[in-house]
Amino acid sequence: MLLIDLLRSVLDQAPIAVVITDALVERPGPTILYANDAFGRLVGRATCDVIGLTPRFMQGSETRRTVLDQFAAALRAGERFHGFLTNYRADGSRYVAEIDCRPLIDASGRVVNFIAFEREVVRRRGRPAASGTGRFEPVAVSHDVLTNFLPRINLFKS
Ligand SMILES: Cc1cc2nc3c(=O)[nH]c(=O)nc-3n(C[C@H](O)[C@H](O)[C@H](O)COP(=O)(O)O)c2cc1C
């Protein structure tokens, strides 16, 4: 099995939403090149329907511009973005997404793609913790191998 096929089969079945775009940061980019089924479920669309769209399709009136500006700055600098955004599903319902987006870099150091891991979170009840991450918790907690593996490669750690 080719490594690319192996990677695809891992991502296809991953319980966490994964979306890969090209590296064109400015409008109309970036363009979604790959999304797994968990991403389709998260955004309430058929996975094949999101290919070719910009991730901006999830935005709405309560998506915070200040966070989007931080996101755009990180993409332009070729840096990681880790944060929380209000996203909208196809049916108009809204959810808070924790997004861990990283540049994929080729051998010459050029950014060739971005990959984001996304999951729905809810605001923790009670007094908010000091860090951004402490104010939210994941909606679905899964105990499969991949989810246990992700913390070890530092996904979603700030
Ligand atoms: C891989 C990837 C995933 C993204 N996921 C989201 C998302 O879930 N929600 C969102 O509002 N923006 C998302 N974005 C950010 C937007 O595509 C865009 O970069 C952002 O709106 C800032 O750029 P702008 O100021 O030109 O709109 C994502 C970007 C990338 C590269």
- By the 10 Å C-beta count (0-12 exposed, 13-18 middle, 19+ buried), 90 is classed as middle
What is the pairing mode between strands 32-35 and 136-138? unpaired
For ligand 1, atom 14, the nearest C-alpha belongs to: 55
Q: Which two tokens stand for residue 40?
A: 């389709």
For ligand 1, atom 19, the nearest C-alpha belongs to: 72
Segment among 25-29, 51-55, 94-98, 137-141 with least mean pLDDT: 137-141
Does the structure show a pLDDT above 80 at 132?
no
Give percent of the chain with pLDDT exceeding 90: 70
Average pLDDT over residues 123-148: 67
Long-range CB pairs of 145-154, under 8 A, 24+ apart, other chains included:
146/10, 146/14, 146/15, 146/16, 147/15, 147/16, 150/16, 150/117
pLDDT given at position 80? 96
Angle at the Cα of 51 from the Cα atoms of 90 and 70, rounded to 5 degrees: 75
Write out pLDDT tens, residues 73-100: 999 999 999 999 999 999 999 999 999 9
Q: Which two tokens stand for residue 120?
A: 């729905």
Mutate to test the pocket of ligand 1, among 18, 64, 71 (most ligand atoms within 8 A of CB): 71
83 contacts 70 by C-beta, under 8 angstroms: yes
Segment among 21-25, 62-66, 131-135, 138-142 with least mean pLDDT: 131-135
For ligand 1, atom 23, the nearest C-alpha belongs to: 72
Angle at the Cα of 89 from the Cα atoms of 87 and 90, rounded to 5 degrees: 140
- Residue 54 CA: nearest ligand 1 atom is 17
Report CA(97)–ligand 1 centroid distance (Å).
12
Q: Is 68 helix (H, G, I), strand (E, B) or coil?
A: helix
Summary mean pLDDT of the chain:
89
Does the structure show a pLDDT above 60 at 158?
no
Instruction: Give residue ranges with CB within 6 A of ligand 1.
Output: 19, 21, 27, 30, 54-56, 58-59, 63, 68, 71-72, 75, 85, 87, 97, 99, 101, 114, 116, 118
For ligand 1, atom 7, the nearest C-alpha belongs to: 55
Long-range CB pairs of 128-135, under 8 A, 24+ apart, other chains included:
131/158, 132/83, 132/84, 132/158, 133/98, 133/157, 133/158
What is 16-153's CATH number? 3.30.450.20
